Amino acid sequence: MPIYEYKCLDCGKEHEVLQKFSDEPLKTCPDCGGSVTKLISNTSFVLKGSGWYVTDYASPERKKAMEAEKKESSEKKESKSEKKTEAAA
């Protein structure tokens, strides 16, 4: 169940409330009975890793194709750097 944050407009206290999606939002402060407003807070959901499905869980054929692409791009970079050094000499 998600935790929702509310702030009382009268007393200024902030409350964290564990509620179901189907529960009605709070309308009154549990401390003073004043009206509350729902706050929007940052999520704790963080994506980590090198990429998405294609890079993390790709089929063996896809992995081979990606390795070939990396090899081609590194070869192109090497040939460009060789041309620059020849032009400078």
Domain regions of the chain by residue span: 3-39, 53-88
**Above pLDDT 70, what percent of the chain?**
74
Element (H, E) at 36: strand 36-39
Distance between CA atoms of residues 72 and 86, nearest Å? 21
Task: Tell me the whole-structure pTM to 2 decimals.
Answer: 0.48
pLDDT attached to residue 72: 85
What's the pLDDT score for residue 24? Answer: 92
pLDDT, tens digit (0-9, with 9 covering 90-100), for 39-77:
988 777 777 766 666 556 667 787 788 888 888 888 776
Dihedral sign of CA atoms 70, 72, 73, 79 in order: positive
- For every residue of 4-34, DSSP letters joined together read EEEEETTT--EEEEE--TTSPPP-B-TTT--
Query: CA 5: distance to chain centroid?
Result: 21
